[in-house]
Each structure stands twice: as structure tokens, then as C-alpha cells.
Amino acid sequence: MKKPVSLIAAVLTVLSAQAPAATESQCFGTVSKGRIEGSVKLPTSGPNFTAYSSLAATAGRTHVHAKVADIITASYVALQTSCPATTYVYGETGWPSGGRFRPHRTHQNGLSVDFFVPVRNAQGKSVPLPTGIGNRLGYDIEFNADARYGEYSIDFPAIAEHLYQLHLAAKARGVGIALVIFDALRHATRRLPEGKPELHERQTLGSP
């Protein structure tokens, strides 16, 4: 049986429906062969979220299109109300100017974002997924068939709410989520209430 990996969305691509103004970020090419101008760095942390690694963020691995950053931060603000006790962790996004972003096959034009699954500890408390050098900053973590990793268990309702708030934030800004990749997505979608976004499942073995 295939194990769920640690990422909510290996690739979450937000496509703009309108041409950007001159002062905004501009994407060129595709997520797998492209670049970006005028990217912005995601905030390292907030009241209910944190980057997967402050060192990696400092190294420039968390830059995105300005509108993508706006959508992500707006979703975290909304989650403070809908899931006030939940802590979220985002992963890698791309270089300031885009381009090849090892080990990923995508993340090249500022439109791809990795999110780590929200987890609860043995006491049922929402805590950040432990990421460090020993587990390749979280990318080597694999949950078992019961969605557990040591004392940690995946918080599927929190995943569904996060995706929903991302959907609402994107829609409010005239854009959309083009693709969500998550090995265990079938578990999360069962918990999506009526009216929440349609998600497209795709199995993946490597780092997108």
C-alpha cells in the first residue's frame, strides 16, 4: 500500500486570469520551464503559520508571484477564524527569479507552492510538522497507511479548510487554483462540505 507523503499539495498552481500591471510580478513560460520578474518573498511566520525552514527562506527558496503571496497570506488570516487552534506549515516555492529549482520539476515561474500537512500530536494538539536536516527539511517524512508518523497524525479537516480558504482567496482576486497534488487526497475530499472546491487527484512518487 502506498504511503501518504508529508505534503498537502506538491504543486499548487495559481493562474492569473488577467495580464499583470507593470508594477506587479510577471511570469514567463510554465511552472516546469519558466521564470519570474518582480517576485516577492513569503513571510517566514505568522500567528498560525510558519515556513518549513527559516534557513531555506533566508537562502531565497520561498519566492512567489505577488498575487500568489496575497492569496496565501489571506487564506492564513481567514484560517485564524475558521481554525483558530491549527498551525500550518508551508514549504518550498521557488527562486526570486525563477528557473530550475532542484530537486523539483516545477516551481519555476512563481506559481507553485508546497504545503505540509497540518498535524496533531499524541495529545491531540495542532503542532508544526517537525522539519529538519535529518528528514530533509520535512520532504523525507512519510506517514503510514493510518496517516501517522510517530506521534503525529494528519489533520484532514484542517487540510480541507485550508484548501477551501485558498480557493476563496483566489476566487476573490479573479484567479484560480489549477492543480492540487496529494497522494492521500481521497481522505481529505471525503471531508469537504458541499460548496467547497473541486480537487483533482494525481498520484506522484517524486518531488514535483
- In which domain, by residue range, is 43 found? 7-189
Q: Look at residue 72 and give its three-state secondary structure.
A: helix
184: left (phi over 0), alpha (psi -120 to 50) or beta: alpha
Domain membership flag for residue 34: yes
Neighbours of 71 (CB within 10 A): 26
CB 10 within 8 A of CB 181: yes
In order of 109, 123, 181, 192, 208, the CA distances from 112 in angstroms are: 8, 33, 11, 23, 10
- The number of domains in the chain is 1
Q: What is the pLDDT of residues 155-204, one digit of tens each?
A: 999 999 999 999 999 989 888 888 888 765 444 444 444 444 433 333 22
Domain membership flag for residue 52: yes
pLDDT band at 49 (very low <50, low <70, confident <90, very high): very high
Which pTM does this prediction carry?
A: 0.81
CA distance 88 to 29: 30
pLDDT at res. 203: 28
Q: Look at residue 76 and give its three-state secondary structure.
A: helix
Domain membership flag for residue 196: no
Domain membership flag for residue 66: yes
Domain membership flag for residue 133: yes
Q: What is the pLDDT of residues 10-27, one digit of tens each?
A: 344 444 434 444 358 999
69-83, 101-115, 122-136, 184-198: the lowest-pLDDT one: 184-198
Domain membership flag for residue 21: yes
On average, the pLDDT of the chain sits at 81
In the predicted structure, residue 90 carries a pLDDT above the cut 90: yes
Domain membership flag for residue 198: no
CA distance 208 to 195: 29
In the predicted structure, residue 64 carries a pLDDT above the cut 50: yes
Top-confidence residue, 198 or 106: 106
- Placement of cell 500500500 in the chain: 1
pLDDT at res. 145: 83
Calculate mean pLDDT across residues 57-64. 96
